[in-house]
Amino acid sequence: MTSQSILVTGGAGYIGAHTLVELVASGYTPVVLDDLSRSSMKLMDGVKQLTGKQLSFYQVDCADKTELRRVFGLHPEISAVMHFAAFKSVNESVEKPLLYFRNNIDSLLSLLEVMQEANVNRFVFSSSCTVYGQPDRIPVTEDAPFKRPESPYGATKQMGERILEDAVKAWKELKVVSLRYFNPIGAHPSGVIGELPIGVPNNLAPYITQTAIGKRSRLTVFGSDYNTPDGSCLRDFIHVVDLAVAHVAALSTIDQLPSRFEAFNLGTGVPVSVLELLNTFMRVTGVNVPYEIGPRRPGDIEKVYADPSKSNRALRWRTKLTIEDALRDAWRWEQNLAK
Ligand code: UD1
């Protein structure tokens, strides 16, 4: 059997690069497309080192239909698309809403239009638990209603899913899996690829590792008066390698799923607080992280964690790695970056 070719947009980003490694390990041939505006060839070099393969790579903006047509033309063997390419900073999206709507929605529409022309009809979408807002019931299941999004970034994920749900109704061959990520953390256990935040990180895990290595003087824990066991927010932190493996599972089951648009939670189902994550990092690495308790961050959700039973069942996938693994791996990556 010939290896299936998969177009991976945003393959030089954090989650994209980890997924490339798992795709190659499962016998797929990824074709990578990335505009490198928020990502780096450093991760592509790491992917090459880990897989021993030089993957086809195109520096292309996903909204550019002419370029997309060229890539599909060069690779008529592409049978599915994984769409990671998007902007993901909540703060930045509040400051530059038009940029976020233009980038995240335009790229999705261009890609779908060119896929239809090329007759490629399997699509895996990077969604987010942000679509739920603060859910009424936790752990949250996929049928929970969407709340009004807190940020333009969140709106682009809700709109993305809406576009895809409507597209499958009209385009009868299209099959879509939308993967709702909870909080991806960690790095490849080799320490060769990991997260590369631009500037000061917004997200907790890279802020912890950058403080531990001395790039930042101290971490601020945003809020200690939430209605949670230790007063800090509760999240569902998932190892990026478990998340990457779920994408391969989505691809291998997409033809067997009951409907042509299916959404799945990708989380562990285990709530972990911000303070717990921080203390676990200090325990497993033995490195002290100076921190202070600060005010709540506007727009933060108090608690959200996944009910992953639908993904466990339908994708025949479950998480295998722990937050301890993720924090050790993230620390190895941060130390390698400093070398
Ligand atoms: C947010 C988005 C999510 C998006 C992700 C990627 C929401 C509800 N969630 O996740 O959709 O995919 O960003 O950018 O919009 N924290 C600190 N100190 C810090 C940094 C974070 O205490 O320096 C706390 C936050 O208050 C939060 C938790 O750590 O309680 C996790 O924050 P973060 O890593 O930014 O992720 P989310 O906000 O959960």
Q: Is the pLDDT of residue 3 over 90?
A: no
Q: Is the pTM of this model over 0.95?
A: yes
Q: What is the pLDDT of residue 299?
A: 87
Q: What is the pLDDT of residue 2?
A: 61
Q: Is the pLDDT of residue 213 over 80?
A: yes
- Residues 271, 235: contact at Cβ < 8 Å? yes
Strand (E) or helix (H) holding 100: helix 97-118
Measured between alpha carbons, how far is residue 222 from residues 76, 233, 299 in Å?
A: 49, 8, 11
Region 214-226: what's the mean pLDDT? Answer: 98
Q: What is the pLDDT of residue 301?
A: 93
Q: What is the pLDDT of residue 287?
A: 98
- Residues 125, 160: contact at Cβ < 8 Å? yes
Instruction: Report DSSP state, residue 133.
Output: S
Catalytic residue at 305? no
- Residues 255, 175: contact at Cβ < 8 Å? yes
CB atoms within 10 A of CB 253: 16
CB atoms within 10 A of CB 37: 11
* Cβ of 130 below 6 Å from ligand 1: yes
CA 204 to centroid of ligand 1, rounded, Å? 6
Q: Is the pLDDT of residue 1 over 80?
A: no
Q: Which ligand 1 atom is at minimum distance from the Cα of 205?
A: 34
pLDDT, tens digit, for every residue of 145-201? 999 998 999 999 999 999 999 999 999 999 999 999 999 999 999 999 999 999 999
* Cβ of 183 below 6 Å from ligand 1: yes
- Residues 273, 229: contact at Cβ < 8 Å? yes
CA 271 to centroid of ligand 1, rounded, Å? 14
Region 88-106: what's the mean pLDDT? Answer: 96
* Cβ of 90 below 6 Å from ligand 1: yes
Give the span between the Cα atoms of 142 and 224, in whole angstroms. Answer: 29
Q: Is the pLDDT of residue 56 over 70?
A: yes
Coil, strand, or helix at residue 54? coil
Burial 85-95 (b: 16+ CB within 10 A, else e): bbbbbbebbee
Q: Is the pLDDT of residue 84 over 80?
A: yes
pLDDT, tens digit, for every residue of 235-281? 999 999 999 999 999 999 999 999 999 999 999 999 999 999 999 99
Give the span between the Cα atoms of 327 and 280, in whole angstroms. Answer: 8
Nearest CA to ligand 1 atom 31: 204
